Amino acid sequence: MRTLQLLKPDEIIDSVYDIELQRLKEKGIKGLIVDLDNTLVPWQSREVTKELESWVKKVCAAGLQIAIVSNNSSSRVEELSGKLGITCVAKAVKPRRGAFRRIAGKFQMPPHEIAVVGDQLFTDILGGNRCGMYTILVAPLSKKEFIGTKIMRLAERLFIRRS
């Protein structure tokens, strides 16, 4: 079924730090769209770790463009993106395609040259796949989260078990 295909990530890894940047480049990926909460930082965190800072530097040094696309409210998303020195879209309404397309336009790249990285199937992965982008699912950083997210996780677990 097509809908199930759209929920399937191209890769499943533990964390952003496990992304093989050189291998992505060999696949023709030139840009990363990364989720914020539970992907780059724990849910509702305002803290940027040294590890995260140096990872962002590594991504840029590898010649990849990077942007944050988050469904969360703008002030915290902008604060964290600002600290990291990368462009962002807040209140993105993922899995809708608008924010992904906006970043693709900014990067001046076709969708197949962009990888979407996130911890949620129904927002990050579904949205990225709908745009024809490469998709990478990471394990969520923290367990404490919004109740709506918890319900989605349950649905995700059921889906992963069946696929």
Q: Which stretch binds Mg ion (CB under 5 A): 34-42, 45-53, 60-68, 79-87?
A: 34-42
Binding residue for Mg ion (CB under 5 A) from 9, 41, 59, 119? 119
Bridge pairing between strands 87-89 and 11-13: unpaired
Bridge pairing between strands 134-138 and 114-118: parallel
How far apart, in whole angstroms, are the C-alpha atoms of residue 131 and residue 14?
23
Give the footprint of Mg ion on residues 38-97 (CB under 5 A).
38
- Closer residue to Mg ion (CB): 104 or 119: 119
Binding residue for Mg ion (CB under 5 A) from 16, 30, 35, 135? 35
- Closer residue to Mg ion (CB): 119 or 156: 119
Closest approach, Cβ 43 to Mg ion, in A, equals 8
How far apart, in whole angstroms, are the C-alpha atoms of residue 100 and residue 67?
10
Q: Which residues pair with 118 in a beta bridge?
A: 137
- Closer residue to Mg ion (CB): 35 or 156: 35
Q: Which stretch binds Mg ion (CB under 5 A): 3-11, 28-36, 77-85, 94-102?
A: 28-36
Cβ–Cβ < 8 Å for 79, 85 = no
How far apart, in whole angstroms, are the C-alpha atoms of residue 137 and residue 117?
6
Q: Which stretch binds Mg ion (CB under 5 A): 2-10, 78-86, 102-110, 115-123?
A: 115-123
Distance between the two ends of the chain, CA-based, in angstroms? 11
Binding site for Mg ion (CB under 5 A): 35, 37-38, 119
